[in-house]
Amino acid sequence: MRAAVSNIAWQAESDDFVLKSLPLGIEGLEIAPTRIVPESPYENIPQADAALSSLRDAYGFCFPSMQSIWYGISQKLFGSPEERGFLLSYTKKAVDFASALSIGSLVFGSPKNRVMNDPSDMDTALEFFRAIGDYAFEKGVFIGLEANPEIYGTNFITTTSDAFAFVKKVGSKGLKVNLDMGTMKANGESADIISGNIPYISHVHLSEPYLKAPVPSPLHREVIGILKDEGYGRFVSLEMNSRTPPQEIPAIASYLLELLA
C-alpha cells in the first residue's frame, strides 16, 4: 500500500508549507480539480498538466486520485433527463481530464446531487454508472463510487455494503468502490465487510465523519489489517476538511504512515 494526502485538507495559500512539511513516505497527492485550476478545470487540461508538473518537480508527488469531481454543479442525478444528460457529459469530461493527467481513480461522492425520489431511480443509476464506468475503462481510469452516509443528506448508496453490491450489479470494469472509513464510522460498520471485496476497491480514504481530522481508532487498524492481508496495493489517502490547522497535518500524515507500516 502507498500513502497519499488530499489537498482539500488545507487552503491554497498553505500549499507550500504543507507540502514541504509532509513526512517522507507520503508519495501521492490526491487533488480536487478546482484546487489546481480554479475555473473550468476540465476545459483547461494543458493548464492543469503544467500545474501538476510543477508540483511533481517541486515536491516529488504522484497523483493517484481526484475528488470533488462535481464541485459547483447543481444538477441532480435523479432529476430530469436533461440534467442527467448534462451530468453524463460532464463526468466524461472529468474522466478525460483524469486520463490525460494519469490520475487513476476518480472519487464519486457528491451526496446532495444523488438523492433518490423513487425506488425506480435505482434502475436509472445502474444505467448511468454502467455508461460512465465503461467510458472510464476505455480511458484507462476507474470511477470510485463512495458510499455516503445519510448524515450527508443522501439516500443513494449509504453503506459500504450497498456500494459493493451496486458495483457488482453494474458489472462495469471501470466502476469500483472508493472505500471511506469516515462512512464506515458514521454507520457503525464492521471492518469485516471489506473482506473478500478488495478487488472492487480503487482507492481508500482514511477519514472521519464530517471530514474531521482523523484520530487513532481501532477501525483504522482493522481496515488496514484486512487490506494488507488480502493484497490491496493501491493508495490510501488522508482526507479531512481544511479547518484543521496546517501545522497539525504532518503529524496526522505520520499516523497514516504508521498504520501502513
CATH of the domain at 191: 3.20.20.150
Task: Dump pLDDT digits (tens) for 121-146.
Answer: 999 999 999 999 999 999 999 999 99
% of the chain with per-residue pLDDT over 70: 100
Task: Dump pLDDT digits (tens) for 69-94.
Answer: 999 999 999 999 999 999 999 999 99
Residue among 31, 64, 62 at smallest CA distance from 142: 64
Task: Judge contact between 37 and 44, C-beta under 8 A.
Answer: yes
* Mean pLDDT of all residues in 174-185: 99
Number of domains comprising the chain:
1
Q: For residue 79, give the C-alpha cell.
A: 432529476
Number of Cβ atoms within 10 Å of the Cβ of 130 = 16
| pLDDT at res. 206 | 99
Comparing 145 with 120, the larger pLDDT belongs to: 145
| pLDDT at res. 226 | 99
pLDDT band at 52 (very low <50, low <70, confident <90, very high): very high
Domain region containing 112: 2-260
* Mean pLDDT of all residues in 144-161: 98
Paired with 218 in beta bridges are: none
% of the chain with per-residue pLDDT over 90: 100
| pLDDT at res. 83 | 98
> How far from chain centre, in Å, is Cα 107?
3
What DSSP assignment string belongs to 209-252? Answer: GGGPPP---HHHHHHHHHHHHTT--SEEEE---TTS-GGGHHHH
| pLDDT at res. 242 | 95
Q: What is the 3-state secondary structure (H, E, C) of 120-172?
A: CHHHHHHHHHHHHHHHHHHCCCEEEEECCCHHHCCCCCCCHHHHHHHHHHHCC
